[in-house]
Structures are given as structure tokens and as C-alpha cells.
Copies of this chain bind each other. A is one copy, B any other.
């Protein structure tokens, strides 16, 4: 039996219930800017060894919380665990993006894809979650996550990162039916996966649609947002008497904010190319907002960080429904002392707005 939450500010903010201050966590808060992470990453030999070993994944997840007063932990994992569990063979070469040993490039490849059973092929994730919950001992909530179907599909068809997305877009434009079959399988798999994460102890879940922004407007709705909506509808958002909030983070998709808010999710992650005040005006009180400092601000100095925190808090304005975060992951060059400044500034200046 897991302990009840001592700090549930993050959950309450996402459910737009009153909070005393604005909660804070950071995308990639467990990562390369921390010397203790780099040490463990070096010892593990590879990024995937860290992800697939529950003890190591747990340790890395907890590292930033030992340094900074953050209001949530996020599972240390990768957005591409599902295609890996489908047999595509995820790997990372030093200094490069993710790659797959096997790629999807035909209708028969898509037809042969099997929906993974999270209890077996993704057991390492579930074990990590259970272990992290135990170690957290109710201090802060644990966030689970997955890549979105569209984002997973881009990597599976391109074989890795891409600048032009020519293969997946060729499939989408030339053979929309096969593309939908692929996305539908992925949506079912993501739903299973996130429900298993919730069952194992994730207290909120976030869907990362990293590449939705490369699609034309009607195609974003048809090939990405539609499947996010399907996943949200299939999640077990009631677990152990608690409401499990769902957050969508669709990078570069600010044009579709209203449509994102209509998916049934609880919160939207925002990058820094929109002000919190504009986003709030557009989505009203339908969803909470998470974000959105430009990660480059973390490279400047304490004075700039403090003034930018004040500006972001003022931009969101009065009341609950704001989870402070960066607009994208924290970068490896950031001085950890700057994260302390950020955390202190959010704690110092946010109570005024509640």
C-alpha cells in the first residue's frame, strides 16, 4: 500500500483546485545537467541500460528531488518504449538521437505489428514505477508518460529522428489507410501502456506529441489529435480513489490549442512561443496550463531567471490551473544552481497569485 501524498499541489493545479502556490517540475529534470546523472549514465554504459534497470531508473528519477524542492517526480524513461516492445529494437549512439534497428516501410510491416502486453515486454517500466513510488514515500506525485501515436509513428517509419519526415509523410499522403492502421494500433498500445503505468502507481500521465507541429492543420487533427482523444477516452482516470490527471504536450501546435483542450485532457503543456495569458484566454477554464519558460533562460543568470519567472507568473495571472515548467526539456549545459534559483523564485513569487 502506497503512502498518501504529502504534497499534492501538482495534482490540485492540474484539476484546477485551489493551491497555496504554483507547483513546479521540469521536463528532463533527471538528466545530463546533473553531475550525479552523468556519473550513473557512464557506469550504466548506455541510456537504455538506465531505462530498463528499475533500480537505476528509480535512482535517476529521484536525483533532482534530492537537490531541488520540486513538486513532482517524472519516471525516467524514453518516449519510444512501445515501438521497442513491438520488436523494433530501440538504441542510442552517443551524441545522436534515437534509432531503430527495424523500420516500418510496408503495409505488411504495419499489419504484423503486435500490441505489446505491458505486463511482460514493458515490465521494467512497471517495476520502476512501483519502486519509485515506494522510495518517494508520498513526498510528491509521480508522473508517467508515453510518446503520442503520431510521434511514435514518425520514428518507426523514418527509423530515427528526421528533419523532413519524408517517409512517414509519403505514407500519410499516398496511403492514408495504412497510416491510420498504424496509428490505431499505436493508440491502443499507448492506452494499455498508460493504464498499466497508472495501475503500477503513476499519479498523473503526460502524452508527448513532439512532432505534431510538422503537419498541416487538417492533417494534425486527423492523424495526431484524433488518436490523442481516443487515448484520453480509454484511460482509467480513477485509481485507488484518486483522479489521475492527463496532460498533453503537443510541441509547435499552438494554432490548435482550443482543439487540444477539447480532447478531454486535464492540462496542456505549452512551449514558449505563446504567452500564458494568451493561452489562458483561448482555452478559458477548460484545462490547466503547464509551462512555459524558454529553456535558454536557464543559461543566463539569476537576475534574468528571477525576472522571467515573475513575468510568467504575471502572464498566467490570478488563481489556480498553472503548473510551472520550461517550454521544453532542460538542456545539458545548464548550471544546477540556476535550477535552485528557478525553484526559489517560483516559491517566493507565486503565492501572491493564489
Q: Which residues of A contact B (CB under 8 A)?
A: 164-166, 169-170, 173-174, 213-218, 252, 254-255, 272-275, 278, 294-297, 299-301, 304, 308, 331, 333
Contacts and interface: CB of A to CB of B under 8 A. Distances in A.
Contact of A254 (B165, B255, B333): B255
A324 B101 CA distance: 40
12 contacts: A164-B331, A165-B296, A166-B333, A169-B299, A170-B299, A173-B296, A173-B297, A173-B300, A214-B273, A215-B273, A216-B275, A218-B275
Closest 10 CB pairs of A and B: A169-B296, A173-B300, A174-B300, A216-B272, A173-B304, A170-B299, A166-B299, A166-B296, A164-B331, A170-B300
Stoichiometry, copies per complex: 2
A337 to B, nearest CB: 16
Contact of A255 (B169, B273, B308, B333): B273
Contacts of A297: 169, 173
A215 B174 CA distance: 34
Contact of A252 (B252, B274, B294): B252
Given A216-B273, A218-B275, A272-B216, A294 B169 contact: yes
Most buried by B among A170, A214, A333: A170
